[in-house]
Amino acid sequence: MAGWSHLAGRFFRALRPGGPGAADLAWVRAVLEPPELGLWERLPAHDQRHTVDVARKVESLLAGSPHAGDPRWPAAALLHDVGKLASGLSVYGRVVATLVGMMGGWRLSAWEEFRGFRRRISQYLRHAEIGADMIRMAGGREEVAAWAFAHHDRSRLDTEIFPASVVAALVESDAD
């Protein structure tokens, strides 16, 4: 789980209005395949900015490596949090969901059976699985879906798909 300073930074950056700039939007359109772009465009502006930052860092870290220029890896970064859409939570609701998730010990899986805010918290905390499913159902690339599924739990990572240097770049890029 991310540290408090990381979470506080993400919260305050999420409060800033506006999405990515025109150059970043053009770059995203070049990296994502049409069904993936459709999902990314549904993200709130603050998530779009975050994922662009992460994807640009991935691209930078992979520069000069055998994996440079492969659009699958920045695409994985661009869609790693797409499952958060399912919860429909605001920035403040996400804070509550994150705190509930950090408390642990709760039978959060049972919350999926409820309606309303408890269900939305459960969906937010399960955004990795939900996002992977959304990407696959939209017709996105398997590598992109697999990273969405594994980005919080590396034990879920398919090491046949992801070279170690790509995983390192993806993890480091989302640490800020």
Render pLDDT for 117-126 as a digit per residue (tens, 0 to 9).
888 888 888 8
What integer is the mean pLDDT of 4-18? 66
Assign 9 a pLDDT band (cuts: 50, 70, 90).
low
pLDDT exceeds 50 at position 101: yes
SS3 at position 59: helix
pLDDT, tens only, 14-72: 667 788 999 999 999 999 999 999 999 999 999 999 999 999 999 999 999 999 999 99
Assign 6 a pLDDT band (cuts: 50, 70, 90).
low
pLDDT of residue 135: 98
Percent of the chain past pLDDT 70, that is, above it, reads: 85
CB-CB contact of 141 with 36 (8 Å): yes
What integer is the mean pLDDT of 164-168? 93
CB-CB contact of 36 with 138 (8 Å): yes
CB-CB contact of 131 with 140 (8 Å): no
* Alpha-carbon dihedral sign for residues 29, 31, 143, 123: negative
pLDDT, tens only, 63-87: 999 999 999 999 999 999 999 999 9
pLDDT exceeds 50 at position 1: no
Distances (CA, A) of 120 to 8, 58, 66, 87: 21, 30, 41, 5
SS3 at position 18: coil
